[in-house]
Amino acid sequence: MAADAKGVALVAAVFSALVTYGLAAGDYGWLPAKATWYGAPNGAGPDDNGGACGFKNTNQYPFMSMTSCGNQPLFLDGAGCGACYQIRCVNNPACSGQAKTVMITDMNYYPVARYHFDLSGTAFGAMAKPGQNDQLRHAGIIDIQFKRVPCYHGGLNINFHVEAGSNPVYFAVLVEFANKDGTVVQLDLMESRPDGRPTGVWTPMRRSWGSIWRLDANHRLQAPFSLRMRSESGQVVIANSVIPANWRPNTNYRSVVQFL
């Protein structure tokens, strides 16, 4: 009986994971939402390509302007930054009905529904039939369906952007290009000894805003730094000594690790 119970529990857990990512058979997992758009008709959203998640260059790969603001149930005070969703529009003659994948990169402060995707002009128009992109954008607020899906950033490992203002006692870093869940729920930092060897002690960082994490230290931080990430689904990935001893603010440091 105990073995049977464990088997049932395992099946339930697997099914729950499939539903989370919208991978169950058929149309199961699609939820209703409203969609609007902002910025340039063929743009990536905010002018500064930043938004409330802190991501940069959202008109470039892997974002490719397929971005969206999410209201609180999607943005989750920044914990939803980087999550990927399939969306498809319904109830409009210009809708193709085909699913497109977008990523949460910003916060929607004025929702018009329980779930509200305020899309880039590019993402909104991508839901249209061929040649009817502008016609769909002229509709304003439209009905859509959505479901969570895994993120895949082919050819990219996780990148860390050390934020401007970081110094020997304050360290802030943007985490981007996480595969699978797309999100990081915890980030920890390990310092090094003066001889460069890791200390073996992990210090929890806290979310500053969006996908930016910070550590306010009571001493001068000793690099190189290793960073440990935990995803929503519990996977842990460690980027050993990814931030070098001569690190500088406003600089990217690409890791050699990725969520699998």
Q: Integer distance in angstroms from the first to the last C-alpha of the chain?
A: 34
Domain that holds residue 240: 159-254
Q: How far apart are CA 35 and CA 12, in angstroms?
A: 32
Q: How far apart are CA 233 and CA 206, in angstroms?
A: 19
Structural domains in the chain (count): 2
Q: Is the peptide bond before 62 cis (omega within 30 degrees of 0)?
A: yes
Q: Examine residue 250 and state whether it is found in any structural domain, yes or no.
A: yes
**Do residues 220 and 140 share a domain?**
no
pLDDT of 168 over the 60 cut: yes
14: pLDDT confidence band, cut at 50, 70 and 90?
very low
**Do residues 109 and 164 share a domain?**
no
Q: Examine residue 14 and state whether it is found in any structural domain, yes or no.
A: no
Q: Examine residue 18 and state whether it is found in any structural domain, yes or no.
A: no
Q: What is the DSSP letter of 244?
A: -
Q: Examine residue 241 and state whether it is found in any structural domain, yes or no.
A: yes
**Do residues 32 and 144 share a domain?**
yes
CATH (domain of 178): 2.60.40.760
**Do residues 32 and 145 share a domain?**
yes
Examine the fold and report which residue of 93, 124, 149 is the final residue of a domain before the chain moves on. 149
- Give 93-149 pLDDT, tens digit per residue: 999 999 999 999 999 999 999 999 999 999 999 999 999 999 999 998 999 999 999
Output the pTM of the full model: 0.87
Q: How far apart are CA 167 and CA 178, in angstroms?
A: 25
Burial of 174 (0-12, 13-18, 19+ CB in 10 A): buried
Examine the fold and report which residue of 149, 171, 205 is the final residue of a domain before the chain moves on. 149
**Do residues 43 and 133 share a domain?**
yes
Examine the fold and report which residue of 131, 149, 167 is the final residue of a domain before the chain moves on. 149
- Give 175-231 pLDDT, tens digit per residue: 999 999 999 999 999 999 999 999 999 999 999 999 999 999 999 999 999 999 999
Q: Examine residue 20 and state whether it is found in any structural domain, yes or no.
A: no
**Do residues 140 and 36 share a domain?**
yes
Q: How many CB atoms lie within 10 A of CB 211?
A: 27
User: CA dist 145 to 26, 76, 141, 193, 237, Å?
Assistant: 14, 19, 13, 52, 32
Per-residue tokens: 253? 């440091």
- Give 63-108 pLDDT, tens digit per residue: 999 999 999 999 999 999 999 999 999 989 999 999 999 999 999 9
